[in-house]
Chain A
């Protein structure tokens, strides 16, 4: 076996194992548009990487995976730059706000507990909703194939959306809505991302699907665009502030993940929107179950290494 010593993590790893790990998460990144941050970091910790190094180096590899995946989706016409930039601006503003929220929570002494419970509830709720909604959509299509389309009654939500100012067309997404929507939702995701310490990819994708009404394929490409810049910021900050980016680890993951992202993009193209949603919902629910088990099952060791993700 070929091993490589990671200078920042202070450990030696099997190169092929890390490559495969990166490839797997990169594949998911290409399919769903989520950066894989919430999957990759726990997996790296499982293989003996210190938590703080795992989280920071993962951000670095996501930069590469997102670049590769985003470019692939761009060629397929799946990136709505206008929407992505607005979400990004909102995310940055929200990030600053989130940091303040964290300070308040830490002062109260309940930050970790609230973060974990929020995470489980959020993932559980989002995953369940996506799963149910997608299954129902698949069922509806079969019988309605021959029937004329029934006029759809506008929901209160849609009506409210149409009254907001600064209405504009988002051509790639095929929707018309107020520019305030992505900005405000971006802020919310930024706050949550700062609180939960993840890139926000999981929350961002459902928001784009259900609240912004974007088609799933464009959601994936635009999400990658947004994540790319978020993780550029995180990588530089982590390196400068905490010295926790292990470049060797990031490169090994990167080689695997960029390869995986390419295949993921092609798989994404072949799947129907509802199928993508069901798979993503299943993934989200699986992660939620794992986190819930961590909360409920008595741990082997009643100590945890400092530094979260």
Chain B
């Protein structure tokens, strides 16, 4: 469904673009960095997006994770009194990260607009999707950040912009899509997109590989190291003398 949403957006852009006789200048973007290295010290980062959009439109930036199916337990009342995890429910094809940045200039309610989280809803039931959004916003995976886009100049029917988007620390290895939308009256006029790659490096990469590819060895090693650490601490304290 996410790809369907992309297709719709692209199709819409083409239709609108071809309608006026005077074609608007295309959206251009540059993404730096386009590779996020997740090492031991990683604690979130910022990506800088620069580029230009047609005059008379506003820029909206979106960063989306890969579409995934997510399973949750639905909470409900048992015996009319106790809140319980009831049956499992599934939300299909939703990105595990959805960040949105705007210029913060319009009165637009971006969070509830068709360009934000609703755009990847697919066939999910309304109540379920609302709860899903609440959960993801609580955990910081879905967010709308207003005022992160600054316009840096205008010339020949285009305006330049620069934006910094905060990437959360809870990121998984994978490919993310960064989009710049040129928006007019709440509609997408044109868009450009680039890929942002997140990659594990160093110790996290080593441990993740060990955990998934050599899981038994990993488990045994974890136990042995834990025991050795416990023994080490015991020895350290023993040398303090003065047992009670």
- Chain A residues packing against B (C-beta within 8 Å): 3-8, 10-12, 48, 60-61, 63-69, 71-72, 75-76, 112-113, 116-117, 232, 235-241, 243, 245, 247-248, 250-251, 254-255, 258-259, 261-262, 266, 269-270, 294-306, 308
With the chains together, A4 CA to B169 CA distance in Å?
10
8 A Cβ contacts from B218-244 to A: 218-223, 225-227, 229-234, 237-238, 243-244
New contact pairs (16) apart from A4-B40, A113-B82, A298-B83, CB-CB < 8 Å: A5-B38, A5-B43, A6-B204, A11-B170, A113-B84, A232-B223, A245-B222, A248-B207, A254-B226, A294-B83, A301-B134, A301-B135, A301-B138, A303-B134, A306-B72, A306-B73
Asked if residues A117 and B82 are in contact (CB atoms below 8 Å), the reply is yes
Query: What is the CA–CA distance of A235 and B128 in the complex, to the nearest angstrom?
Result: 34
Task: Assess whether A304 is in contact with B200, with CB atoms less than 8 Å apart.
Answer: no
CB-CB under 8 A from A243, the residues of chain B are: 211-212, 215
B120 to chain A, nearest CB (A): 17
Closest 4 CB pairs of A and B: A67-B230, A239-B219, A12-B169, A3-B43
Can you list 13 A-B contacts (CB < 8 A)?
A63-B226, A67-B226, A67-B230, A112-B85, A235-B226, A258-B230, A297-B83, A301-B134, A302-B74, A302-B131, A303-B75, A303-B135, A304-B85
In the complex, which residues of chain B have a beta carbon less than 8 angstroms from the beta carbon of A66? 230
In the complex formed, the residue of A with least CB distance to B91 is A303
B35 an interface residue at 8 Å Cβ cutoff? no
CA distance A117 to B85 in the complex (A): 12
**Alpha-carbon separation in the docked complex, A61 to B128 (Å):** 36
Q: In whole angstroms, how far apart are the Cα atoms of A63 and B139 in the complex?
A: 30
Q: A296-B81, A299-B83, A300-B134 known; A235 and B222 CB under 8 Å?
A: yes
Q: Is B205 an interface residue (CB 8 A)?
A: yes
Is B89 positioned at the interface, with any CB of A under 8 Å from its CB? Answer: yes
| Closest chain A CB from B172 CB (angstroms) | 5
- B66-104 CB mask vs A (1 if < 8 Å, else 0) is 000001111110100111110011000000000000000
- Report chain B residues within 8 Å CB of A67: 226-227, 229-231, 234
In the complex, per-residue mask of B188-227: 1 if CB is within 8 Å of any chain A CB, else 0: 0000000000001001110110011001101111110111
Cβ of B223 to closest chain A Cβ, rounded Å:
5
User: Are A303 and B89 within 8 A (Cβ)?
Assistant: yes
Assess A304 versus B229: contact at CB under 8 Å? Given A245-B222, A247-B207: no
Whether B220 and A236, one on each chain, are in contact in the complex, defined by CB atoms closer than 8 angstroms, is: yes
B229 touching A239, Cβ below 8 Å:
no
Report the bound CA distance from A235 to B225 in whole Å: 12
